[in-house]
Structure formats: structure tokens, C-alpha cells
Structure 1
Amino acid sequence: MDRKEFLNSMGMSAAAFALINCMGCKKSDGSNDADTTGPTGIDFTLDLSLATNAALLNNGGSLAINGLIVARTMTGNYIAVQRSCTHESYTLSYQSANSRFYCANHGSTFAESGAVTNGPATRSLTAYHTQLTGTSLRIYS
């Protein structure tokens, strides 16, 4: 193999490697992509007397379930929003001390209502209804 053939094969190998590593890479353009929208048809109930849901007994507590974050605000209200960021579908966390949802990947923040308070996200989170009856917390669309 001469030098030209060697360099050509190395270039083709590098190009193939780059192509394989980028397959499946997708940059969201902020459109209404299915992976950045909240789940639909939500209707379930959490029994707050169960240990698995104990985080919701305290103001500022939250839990992730069924693609949502269900939280109890510092004022004692129950809220529920989609768990994925509307920017690029990264997992959000609830920061009760700041009364917001936060995406650690790109820094987007959302109010407890789901409204964008800091980008790069431009679309609000899908928010869900909550209804407390005794120790049963219903979350629904």
C-alpha cells in the first residue's frame, strides 16, 4: 500500500467512524417534537398514605411518576407537570426552594405553572390538574 492509498483509507475510516457516532443524533429545533411534549391521557391516583408517596406529605416534596413530576409546593398546593424539558427532552428536577422546575443540561427553568422563565426552552411544560380527596391525590389531563 502506498502513501496515497493509506491516507485515503484512513480518511474513509475516520469518516465512517464519525458517521456511525452521529447516527441518531438529533438537535431539536424547538418544534413540537413528540419527545419534548408531555404524556397524554393522564388520569391516575396516588395514595398519600403509602410510603412510596411519602415525599408528597411535606411542603417542597416531589416525586417522578408516569412521565410527570408531581410536587407539593412550599405553600402546600399540589402541582404536576411533564418530566421532560421542552427544549431537548432532558429530565427536569423540582427545586422547591426556588419554586421552579430546572433542566440541568442546558439551564432552562420553568415556573411552578410550567411557564418558561429562562431558556433555551421556548415552550411551556404541559401542566396537569390535581385534586386531593382525603389521602387520594388524583392527577389528570
Structure 2
Amino acid sequence: MDRKNFLTMVGMSAASFALINCIGCSKSSDSGSSSGVSGPTGVDFTLDLTASANAALLTNGGSLKSNGVIVARTTTGAYIAVQQSCTHESYPLVFQGSNQQFYCNNHGATFSQTGAVTGGPTNKSLTTYTTVLTGTSLRVHS
């Protein structure tokens, strides 16, 4: 085998390994799209804050997931709602009340409480939803 053939084989092997690693990292076939993942549309639901299932929202910094949305209570007591999935590759987000941010455990993307990107591999902000508190009912809608 001559030098040119050897270098060609090494280069092809390296490219193959890189391709396999990139494909292995993807959650789905369209997850690598540059447009990012959007949140659900047509959102409109109400949470009864007296129900035990929604008790996390009675504490500042608490959150819960419902209908593809994370509903959270900020450290100042305001209610906020954003899409549940990261805009990078649609992995689930968590609300970190003490850090006042949404965080993706998969690739480390971070988002402010307003849904703006603050770090990580994505450049697309989260879809946000309107919250309206009436008595003990919290309505979340698009």
C-alpha cells in the first residue's frame, strides 16, 4: 500500500467515526435542523392551585409540567410558562428556580425566565405562554 492510499483510508475512517458520533448524538432525524424546536401551539388550559397535583406552584421557585409546557413560579412570585422541550434537540427542560433559569440536562442550554437563550448550543428562544391568575385558577394560553 502506498502513502496516498494509506492517508485516504485513515481520512475516510476518521470521517466515518465523526459521522457516527454526530448521528448518535441526535434524538431524532430532524433534530439537527437549524430552525430549532418550537413549542406546542393552541395552548389553553387552567390549573386549580388548590389541587395537590399543582402544589409545586404554591412555592416561589416551584414548577410543574403540563400539556407540553413548564409552568413555574419565579422567586418573586410571578407565574411564567414556556415550552417544555429544548429548542436545540427537543430534550426536556427543567426550571431552576434558585438560578432563575430553564436548563437542558442533555447539552447544557440555558434560558432566562422570559425564554431568551442565555447559553448553550441553541440560538432559538423558547416559546412563551401567557399566564392569568384568577383567584386560585391559573390559566395558561397562547
In the alignment, the residues of structure 1 paired with residue 28 and residue 109 of structure 2 have an alpha-carbon distance, to the nearest angstrom, of 21
Question: CA shift at 1:25, angstroms?
Answer: 4.9
Counting matched residue pairs gives 118
| Percent of residue pairs identical | 61
The question of 1:29 aligning with 2:39 is answered no
| TM-score normalised to structure 1 length | 0.79
Larger radius of gyration: 1
| Long gaps (5+) in structure 2 | 1-19
SS in 2 for 1:97: helix
> Could you give the per-residue CA deviations for residues 13-67 of structure 1, whole angstroms, max 9, x where no partner exists?
xxxxx8xx97x853513214xxx21000011100000000000001000001100
In the alignment, the residues of structure 2 paired with residue 113 and residue 30 of structure 1 have an alpha-carbon distance, to the nearest angstrom, of 21
> Could you give the per-residue CA deviations for residues 85-111 of structure 1, whole angstroms, max 9, x where no partner exists?
000000000000110000011000000
Give the 4+ runs in structure 1 shifted more than 2 A.
24-27
| Long gaps (5+) in structure 1 | 1-17
Relative to structure 1, is the Cα distance of residues 99 and 30 closer, same or farther in structure 2, using a 3 angstrom cutoff? same
Which residue does the alignment assign to 2:56? 55
In the alignment, the residues of structure 2 paired with residue 58 and residue 25 of structure 1 have an alpha-carbon distance, to the nearest angstrom, of 36
RMSD: 1.8
In the alignment, the residues of structure 2 paired with residue 88 and residue 120 of structure 1 have an alpha-carbon distance, to the nearest angstrom, of 10
SS in 1 for 2:118: strand
| TM-score normalised to structure 2 length | 0.78
Task: Describe how 1:74-113 pairs up with structure 2 within 5 A.
Answer: 74-113=75-114
